[in-house]
Amino acid sequence: MRIAYFSPLPPARSGIADYSRELLPHLAQCADITLFVAEPEKVDRDLRDQFVLRSLQQFPEERWHYDMALYQMGNSEFHEPLFHYLLKYPGVVDLHDYFIHHFLAHTTMGRGNFSAYARELAYVRGVEGMDLAQDIRLGHKSMPIFELPLNKRVLDVSLGLIIHSNYVADQVRRQRVDLPVQVVPLFVNMHTGQSRRRELGLAPDDVLFASFGLITTSKQIELALRSFKQLRQTIPNAHYLLVGESMSNANPKALIRDLNLTNVVHEVGFVADIADFIDWIYTADVVINLRYPTVGESSSSALRALAAGRPVIVFDQGWYGELPDGAALKVPPLDQAKLLDAMLRLARSPVLRRQIGQAAQQYAMENCTPSRISTAYISALRVILEHHWERYA
């Protein structure tokens, strides 16, 4: 199978870029892959050494050389260059977020192009969408970024979708019953790592909670830190680690100062090297990975924590709700009392942490092996292609 592969790639600060970097070598054992990006010369050298890279502008002339175009689509600005090709040259879409409203709002309204945003609302809601756009423009209503997925155009042009959760697959099927949808588990490599507790000055019996990835308001870091503040009344040797870049709408430094947690919350910031990132996961005793509202995402940072044998606390919704009960502690979304209870249970019991961590690692090992994922991925692509061969035969 000859695949034209479109995705953000490292050094882009994108989880999907990291996902592609890890997935591509395994897919390449089953398919002939060419990478299409906006600026090939800026892609990390290891990928440039392993794969043929082309600029996006070369694809229109070369597209007949491939059996399919495969687009990695998510809800961030990093997907803007490939999005225009996705619409013009339909292919299979690996849809990482059911909602792409944030992406479209940023690349239209965020650039001062209100009419483009209004067109997207109208495409989904017709005249009602146009009225909503006008209300937003006049300041009468806010953008419904967590209410409207704005993915209809992507679903309408796609040959089929690869999805990473049954939750999102069900959402898509209710919207487009005729669209081929294949569920393939999210993939991360099983890395080994080492603890860096000494760098934080922690004592051997200190309990370290941690959150990983881009810090946004929907990651509910404020809720986690307020719960952590309460926990320290009972567990005074508890610490918290934040690893990830903070978005402008999130201000953990001010919150940490206001909660008087400056000496026990450790901020590492953005970590570019995957080995360093994994080391910080191995440093934690408990990983807290909260998202509300969900946009139908799957979490590679949560999956990396599971693969490292770390107990993870998540909200019981979406992809997170599909994790086995024994491999993660799931609490109702935004329920601070239940969140605090889960944190206390894990802080008090090294045995429970070890039991859940072992179950988490077993789950990751069974579901994320490269051979299983690459086989499932290629099989999904073939099913989608065969659907269209039969349809147009």
User: Tens of pLDDT along 181-205?
Assistant: 999 999 999 899 999 999 999 999 9
What per-residue confidence (pLDDT) applies to 388? 78
For the chain, which domains are there?
A: 2-100+151-187+370-392 (3.40.50.11930), 197-367 (3.40.50.2000)
DSSP state of 6: E
> How high does pLDDT run on average in the chain?
95
- Do 311 and 357 meet the contact criterion of CB atoms below 8 Å apart? yes
What per-residue confidence (pLDDT) applies to 19? 95
User: Tens of pLDDT along 113-165?
Assistant: 999 999 999 999 999 999 999 999 999 999 999 999 999 999 999 999 999 99
What per-residue confidence (pLDDT) applies to 393? 47
User: Tens of pLDDT along 229-273?
Assistant: 999 999 999 999 999 999 877 889 999 999 999 999 999 999 989
**CB-side neighbour CA atoms (13 Å) of 290:** 27
What per-residue confidence (pLDDT) applies to 248? 72
How many whole angstroms separate alpha carbon 70 and alpha carbon 160?
10
> Looking at this protein, which amino acid is placed at residue 253?
K
- Do 184 and 164 meet the contact criterion of CB atoms below 8 Å apart? yes
DSSP string, 76-96: SGGGHHHHHHHHHS--EEEES
Residue 391 above 70 pLDDT? no
3-state DSSP assignment of residue 381: helix
How many whole angstroms separate alpha carbon 185 and alpha carbon 163?
8
